[in-house]
């Protein structure tokens, strides 16, 4: 019963459409009608500006970090933490608040894996920053980091009593899903029409 409650909590927290709500509250606009029409942090940054974009990024990362973190404080451990983290990411990408649509899962995945495998996450964050700094493409940084996620997870030490094989499988599924959600970005990257990141 405890695991079921945390799974429900993870989905509800993951489903919170922070980008949409912050856009409507502070700017009275729905960011899904502008830019890439995505509800995540990158589009929020482009449409709402740096302040609110960073606000969305932190909020989306927190809704990935908090479910497994809270569960661990109540004695949940091992592979159940993987399941709870995955449900939070699914909640973000398939939010019932948005008719089962949502963001691409990058920021929420960042929060989940920051708790589960912080060493891997910090390495990927460095890779992401370097790629974006060189190319100015946030999408390319996200795609490369997502691709590297299961590879680094296989080699890096793991804590929290989590088995390596299920964790690698989960990271491969999440990484692959994030890349799939970037399919339109990949097309624009290949065509040279992808929007570059600009400081605001």
Residue linked to tokens 């891997």: 120
pLDDT exceeds cutoff 80 at 125 = yes
pTM (predicted TM-score): 0.85
pLDDT exceeds cutoff 70 at 198 = yes
Give kind and range of the element (H or E) at residue 53.
helix 50-73
Q: How far is CA 129 from CA 28, 126, 142, 174, 194, in A?
A: 31, 5, 10, 20, 18
Q: Yes or no: say if 94 and 102 are a contact pair by the CB < 8 Å rule.
A: yes
What count of other Cβ atoms lies within 10 Å of the Cβ of residue 151?
Answer: 14
**Nearest C-alpha neighbor of 182 from the set 132, 141, 130, 135:** 141
- Retrieve residue 131's tokens: 């790629």
Q: What is the distance between the alpha carbons of residues 89 and 182, in angstroms, rounded to a whole number? A: 15
Q: What is the distance between the alpha carbons of residues 6 and 109, in angstroms, rounded to a whole number? A: 17
Q: In the structure, what pLDDT confidence band is assigned to residue 153 with cuts at 50, 70 and 90?
A: very high
pLDDT exceeds cutoff 70 at 200 = no
Percentage of residues in the chain having pLDDT higher than 90 = 80
**pLDDT value at position 181?**
87
State the Rg of the chain over Cα.
16
Q: Yes or no: say if 111 and 34 are a contact pair by the CB < 8 Å rule.
A: no
Q: Yes or no: say if 83 and 91 are a contact pair by the CB < 8 Å rule.
A: no
**pLDDT value at position 195?**
86
């Amino acid at each position: 019963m405890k695991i079921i409650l945390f799974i429900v909590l993870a989905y509800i927290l993951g489903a919170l459409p922070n980008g949409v709500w912050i856009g409507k509250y502070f700017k009275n606009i729905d960011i899904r009608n502008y830019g890439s029409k995505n509800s995540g942090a990158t589009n929020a940054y482009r449409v709402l500006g740096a302040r609110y974009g960073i606000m969305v990024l932190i909020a989306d990362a927190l809704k990935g970090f908090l479910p497994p973190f809270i569960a661990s404080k109540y004695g949940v451990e091992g592979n159940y933490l993987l399941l709870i983290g995955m449900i939070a990411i699914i909640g973000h990408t398939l939010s019932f608040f948005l008719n089962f649509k949502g963001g691409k899962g990058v920021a929420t995945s960042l929060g989940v894996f920051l708790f589960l495998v912080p060493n891997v996450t910090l390495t990927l964050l460095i890779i992401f920053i370097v790629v974006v700094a060189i190319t100015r493409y946030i999408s390319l940084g996200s795609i490369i980091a997502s691709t590297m996620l299961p590879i680094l997870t296989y080699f890096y030490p793991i804590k929290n009593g989590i088995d390596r094989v299920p964790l690698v499988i989960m990271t491969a599924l999440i990484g692959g899903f994030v890349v799939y959600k970037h399919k339109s970005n990949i097309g624009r990257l290949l065509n040279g029409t992808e929007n570059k990141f600009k400081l605001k």
